[in-house]
Structure 1
Amino acid sequence: INTRLICHLPLIAPPGSRFRVGNEVREWKEGEAWAFDDTIEHEARNDSGQDRTILIFDVWKPELTEEERDLVSALFESIDAYGAGGAAWGV
């Protein structure tokens, strides 16, 4: 179950840098965020020869209720707590 969207916020986006999600291709524009479902095939390109800097972060899918977000958060906190203790077989 995908509970999040990925958000890209271009900080430095030279001409010739772009992003594709599914069949949609967009040129990155500095300061213009774009949220998408990363379960869809996607790729980034930078044909400019210059560095590109994109801030990438997750956001909740807007259709999730507060209760659903709380349950998902509790699940991940439990997984993290279990992982912090190490595996029972010492690996």
Structure 2
Amino acid sequence: MKPTHARSSTLEFYKKAISSFMPRLTIPWDNVRREGHPTRSEAVNQLIKTVKRFEVRREGVLSSARRPIEYDEFRDLLTLVRNDGKQTQHYKTSSVFTLQ
């Protein structure tokens, strides 16, 4: 079963968020009685490991991480805007990009 909804980093964040609200952190999860600390469950940790394996194989959910724009990309974008035929849009957009 391929992961389709979340990446391992998202699942780890959810695990940490749930864990911060658990009153007794030292009690492990009990599968029979279904009580204790659910983020210490072997099933939760195994799920995160499985999702990581799919990510390594590039079969999981695509990353939505953003990266900063490179200088060459910025320069190409600025050149493209400055060569645009519309004068009002040309000045407005190039000034916004230049002041960034």
Could you state the TM-score of these two structures normalised by the residue count of structure 2? 0.25
Based on CA coordinates, which of the two structures has the bigger radius of gyration? 2
Higher share in strand: 1
Relative contact order higher in (CA < 8 Å, ≥ 6 apart): 1
Higher share in helix: 2
Could you state the TM-score of these two structures normalised by the residue count of structure 1? 0.26
